[in-house]
Amino acid sequence: MSTVVGLTGQSGAGKTLISAVFEREGFGIINCDHVAREVTEAGSGCNKELAGYFPECFDEEFVLDRRAMGRIVFADREKLDLLNSIIFKYINALIDEKIKELSLCCDFILLDAPTLFEAGADSKCDVIVSVTADEKLRLKRVTKRDGIDEESVKKRFSSQHDEDFFEAHSDYIIRNNGSSAESEAQALKIINEIKEGKIGGSKR
């Protein structure tokens, strides 16, 4: 049976960098951003269900306008929760399929999931690794990466878990406040422990 490692963390903390280290070390990768895009392809069952609640975010072909959806849900917690309750059931079903497929060829699988806990996908994981960073650094990274203003980014941050939550619910924390080399070194140490079966007591 493959060991499934959940990788999650704060927006702008540097999860992409850490995921690349796991992939380089031979882990099969399930990128949940890609999974989310698969389940929200034009005309999908997920899109048709979402359109019943967010009609302004879809055209007649059930193509999702992601920016329009973002403007709505990041400003309204209830609407974000509604969106998540619908989309997560489709995402989790596809994750299960991908884990089953990768288990045929990989001893170790990384589930790269920004909303691991919100989706309930942490229950699929044997180990959870969270990536965190100082808020000012994350703010700088996200505004540059996504080309949006600081106010919009702060709204996004306000809808997410804080560092204390990740600390309490993860087996390992990578604090990505320094250089890429320092963060990669943290990841490699964790990977070696996982491969050797030296997984500490879970806080979950």
Q: Which residue has the tokens 């990788």?
A: 7
Tell whether 116 is in a known binding site.
Answer: no
Tell whether 143 is in a known binding site.
Answer: no
Tell whether 15 is in a known binding site.
Answer: yes
Tell whether 195 is in a known binding site.
Answer: no
> Rounded to the nearest 5°, which phi and psi values hold at 104?
-75, -20
Q: Strand order of the sheet with strand 28-31? A: 28-31, 108-112, 3-9, 127-132, 172-175
Tell whether 36 is in a known binding site.
Answer: no
Buried b (16+ CB within 10 A) or exposed e, 135-166: beebbebbbeeeeeeeebbeebbeeebebeeb
Distances, alpha carbon 20 to alpha carbons 7, 23, 25, 93, in Å: 11, 5, 9, 24
Tell whether 14 is in a known binding site.
Answer: yes
Environment class of 28 (CB within 10 Å of its CB; exposed 0-12, middle 13-18, buried 19+): buried
Q: Which residues are annotated as a binding site?
A: 12-17
Q: Which residues are annotated as a binding site for ATP?
A: 12-17
